[in-house]
Chain A
Amino acid sequence: MKFLLTVYARAEVAVPPPDADRDFVAAARQSGELIDCQVLADPSTSLLVRVHDGGTSVADGPYAGPPAHLAACYLVDCEDRDRAVGLAAMIPAARHDAVEVRPVMLAAGLEM
């Protein structure tokens, strides 16, 4: 099953994800569970794109203001939800705040 683990950071958290999550990334990569790992640039660099009446407007982000911003996301493929929770618990942000674990939709299914 594939899950997206998203890490939210509060402004006061000192260590940014690339360094803080090193152990998690190494473990998930070695076990053959890590599919993709993206750390996002500072929220002040984000842009909001809107199309209205055929015209495109671009404004400064982020989309959601404080208290927390999206800092990193990891796509993993693991046995089940329990294992995804175990992986998320390895990310230090889980200790100060929370890591969101969300299943990724599949393009396949069973007839009912």
Chain B
Amino acid sequence: MSAEDLGRLLRELAPQVLGALLRRYHDFETCEDALQEAMLAATVQWPADGVPENARGWLVTVGSRRVVDQIRSERARRDREMSSASRELPDATVTPGPGEGVARDHDDTLTLLFMCCHPALTPASQVALTLRAVGGLNTAEVASAFLVPEATMGARISRAKQRIRAAGTTFDMPAGPAYAERLGVVLHVLYLIFNEGYTASSGPDLQRPDLAAEAVRLTRAIHRSLPDDGEVAGLLALMLLTDARRAARTDTVGGLVPLAEQDRARWDSDLIEEGTRLVTDAMLRSPLGPYQLQAAIASLHVQAPHVADTDWRQIRFLYQVLCRIAPTPMAALNHAIAVAMTDGPRAGLAMLSVLAADDRMAHHHRLAATRAHLLELAGDPATAREEYLLASRRTTSLPEQRYLRARADRLAEADPAS
């Protein structure tokens, strides 16, 4: 078994093993540490001895021993300190209890995601903890995914676990309205993980875990548990349809290629087909939501054989609905672009001037970049160039900055007077 296959197998088993440990020992912090130690033991022993027949059981056994060791040493410490403690050790038996079979595995993944996305944590901590406890990545891998030192990520993860313990979280699903609210957080966290992976710069970096693939894998797992949830299906579809463009969105030197200029032959037709089927099906069967709408828009973009065939009228309609049910400045910006494509750039620019009054958007580089693009379409290269330069000063992304400067330079060449 290759190191890559072994890693994949371990990540697949991670939430099942952690679920089994939590049902027995309850303490999230101890169980999660034990899972990491069991996985580490497996990466050392399995390549030499072969993968055990019951790999999951092996990991649960090793993890259980670690938990018990931990409880013993903590008890010894307490005994030394107070010399009075006598606490019953939980049974370290490794035979699965009733209802601990494989059928619960998907639900375990979901329950763990709900725990890691606890509202007491910041989004960055929810993301880090999800990748470690549910995704089965180790601290070094999570750290390298976010380009921070391992010590920084280690501190963030242990702070997150302390907060979860302090909040008294148990290994259960929240009920009632809390359920829907938490599912929303879970989907947002998976969306953040996907975006972090999707925006990662040029080409595959072998040292950096593929976060986009990781987010897709976890979202697929939730979709299997909740096949009738339209927003789960919508998010999965959005990820697949966005990922379908991955190969075409950077050029050979790592520069960004805008959607309109991408080589459509390089888009992944299997992902497009699967994503489109998922979102179409979800929209027919379940209440409309923002992820479904964004997936439907992404689907319309990638279904056009040429950029000129893009169904802007339909895209415009979907953005209009999105702005009504989940209004965000970014949705409004995209709505303005769609209006510009159907009614002309001046109509889009008029909508942008309304958006400029929004504090969240006024100084955003995307507003300036969009204004620049629409001014260029409207035949005002001099002002367009100024806006491209303004946007290039405001962005904090190097590839975006290079792209925006190149657009500005192109206009300067076309119009040397400016």
Contact = CB atoms under 8 A, between A and B. Distances in A.
A79 B122 contact: yes
A33 B396 contact: no
Interface in A52-76: none
B256 interface: yes
A77 B152 contact: yes
B85 interface: no
Contact of A32 (B154, B201, B257, B399): B154
Interface string B109-128: 00000000000001111001
A105 B122 CA distance: 22
B395 interface: yes
23 contacts: A29-B155, A30-B159, A32-B128, A32-B154, A32-B156, A32-B157, A33-B156, A35-B148, A77-B124, A77-B148, A77-B152, A78-B124, A79-B122, A103-B396, A105-B396, A107-B398, A108-B200, A108-B201, A109-B201, A109-B399, A110-B256, A111-B258, A112-B400
Contacts of B396: 1, 103-106
B152 A79 contact: no
B155 A30 contact: yes
B397 A31 contact: no
Nearest to A3: B396
A40 B217 CA distance: 45
A110 B156 contact: no
Nearest to A29: B155
A106 B398 contact: yes
B149 interface: yes
Nearest to A76: B152
Interface string B247-259: 0010000001111
Main secondary structure of the interface of A (DSSP, over half): loop
B155 A79 contact: no
Contacts of B146: 77
A35 B249 CA distance: 30
Contacts of A107: 201, 397-399
Contacts of B22: none
A93 B60 CA distance: 51
Interface of B: 122-125, 128, 146, 148-149, 152-159, 198-201, 249, 256-259, 262, 369, 373, 395-401, 403
Contacts of A33: 152, 156
Interface of A: 1, 29-36, 77-79, 103-112
Given A34-B152, A77-B124, A107-B398, 17 more contacts: A29-B155, A30-B155, A32-B156, A32-B158, A33-B156, A35-B149, A77-B152, A79-B122, A103-B396, A105-B397, A106-B398, A107-B201, A108-B399, A111-B249, A112-B258, A112-B259, A112-B403
A32 B369 contact: no
Given A77-B148, A109-B399, A111-B259, A31 B200 contact: no
A31 B259 contact: no
Contacts of B258: 111-112
Nearest to A106: B397
A110 B157 contact: no
Contacts of B149: 35-36
Q: Which 6 A-B pairs have the closest CB atoms?
A: A32-B156, A109-B397, A32-B155, A109-B400, A108-B199, A109-B399
Contacts of A31: 155-156, 159
A109 B397 CA distance: 5
- Residue in A30, A32, A79, A105 with the greatest tally of chain B CB atoms within 10 Å: A32
A97 to B, nearest CB: 25
Contacts of A106: 199, 396-398
B382 to A, nearest CB: 20
The residue in B148, B157, B257 that gathers the most chain A C-beta atoms within 10 A of its C-beta is: B148
Given A35-B148, A77-B146, A109 B156 contact: no
Contacts of A111: 249, 256-259, 262
A106 B202 CA distance: 12
